[in-house]
């Protein structure tokens, strides 16, 4: 990896608070003085998107979110092609707090015969649980989600062929609901018309790369993508449509968006991603980043 990429991995994996994001932005400005870096701040959450290059004149837009998530007691398990597992897991992680809140409400109501008191105690519990999921204590380990995407863009930026054809955008507040990318999409709507946008989110762990293409992107760009993202020894590539693949990330805010992620595979479940949003998100396979840079180089050639 480039020295800057190694520095980010070693010292800048946490980019959650405004101060941490400012430190990261200042690092990029210091280490990449030869590049045009623009920081756009907008919206209720004052999202700060980092733009490197010229969006208006770029042929392709390469993106990743740089904000990081709170640490969770359980991983954000994703099975993009297995809908029953996807929803079953969502139910399972919600069940403990639902049982706790329901049980506590029942005890309070039985002891006091006061539904209002039971509600007053348990409703804040549910709110606190949701708050922990959104704005809780920062996860210190973000190797895959999404330091891997950030480093992929940094490595691609050092390839002259890629740099000549692409603009690079690091989105803020993806973890709050794709907020930064939504603001960027609105502001640059005319400049993005007809352009392929590739969003890299969780590409650091696994051997199965999945390109999830939005409905309008697939018929236009799939042949180009297949010619560029070629399987290699130990690495497979799948070209999927967002209509039947669940991978919620920033590409969803763009008509010609394609989400790029990497998965592991097991029987029954199929392709899956685990460990993210927990202290166990510590692995970034450098060969994955190299594979993606080679693929992007072919795309831009």
Give the residue from 284, 285, 45, 41 showing the smallest Cα distance to 175: 45
Q: List, as one string, the DSSP characters of 86-108.
A: HHHHHHHHHHHHHHHHHHHHHHH
pLDDT of residue 134: 62
Digit-coded pLDDT (tens) for 139-155: 999 999 999 999 999 99
Q: What is the dihedral of CA 207, 148, 154, 52, to 10 degrees?
A: 120
pLDDT of residue 130: 64
Digit-coded pLDDT (tens) for 149-205: 999 999 999 999 999 999 999 999 999 999 999 999 999 999 999 999 999 999 999
pTM of the entire predicted model: 0.90
| Distance in angstroms (rounded) separating the CA atoms of residues 298 and 292 | 10
Digit-coded pLDDT (tens) for 89-104: 777 766 666 777 777 7
């Amino acid at each position: 990896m480039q020295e800057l990429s190694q520095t980010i991995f070693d010292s800048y994996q946490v980019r959650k608070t405004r101060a941490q994001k400012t430190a990261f932005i200042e690092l990029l400005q210091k280490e990449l003085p030869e590049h045009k870096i623009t920081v756009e701040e907008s919206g209720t959450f004052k999202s700060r998107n980092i733009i490197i290059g010229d969006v208006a004149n770029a042929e392709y837009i390469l993106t990743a979110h740089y904000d990081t998530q709170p640490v969770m007691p359980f991983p954000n398990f994703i099975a993009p092609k297995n809908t029953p597992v996807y929803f079953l897991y969502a139910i399972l992680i919600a069940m403990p707090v639902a049982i706790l809140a329901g049980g506590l409400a029942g005890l309070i109501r039985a002891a006091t015969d006061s539904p209002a008191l039971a509600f007053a105690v348990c409703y804040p519990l549910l709110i606190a649980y949701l708050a922990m999921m959104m704005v809780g204590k920062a996860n210190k380990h973000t190797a895959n989600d999404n330091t891997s995407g950030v480093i992929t863009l940094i490595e691609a930026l050092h390839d002259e062929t890629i740099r000549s054809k692409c603009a690079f955008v690091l989105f803020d507040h993806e973890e709050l609901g794709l907020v930064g990318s939504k603001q960027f999409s609105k502001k640059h709507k005319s400049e993005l018309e007809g352009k392929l946008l590739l969003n890299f989110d969780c590409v650091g762990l696994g051997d199965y790369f999945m390109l999830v293409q939005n409905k309008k992107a697939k018929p236009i760009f799939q042949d180009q993508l297949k010619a560029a993202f070629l399987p290699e020894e130990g690495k497979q590539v799948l070209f999927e449509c967002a209509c039947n693949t669940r991978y919620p990330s920033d590409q969803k805010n763009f008509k010609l968006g394609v989400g790029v992620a990497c998965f592991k595979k097991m029987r029954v479940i199929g392709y899956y991603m685990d460990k993210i949003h927990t202290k166990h998100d510590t692995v970034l396979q450098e060969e994955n980043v190299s594979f993606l840079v080679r693929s992007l180089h072919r795309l831009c050639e």
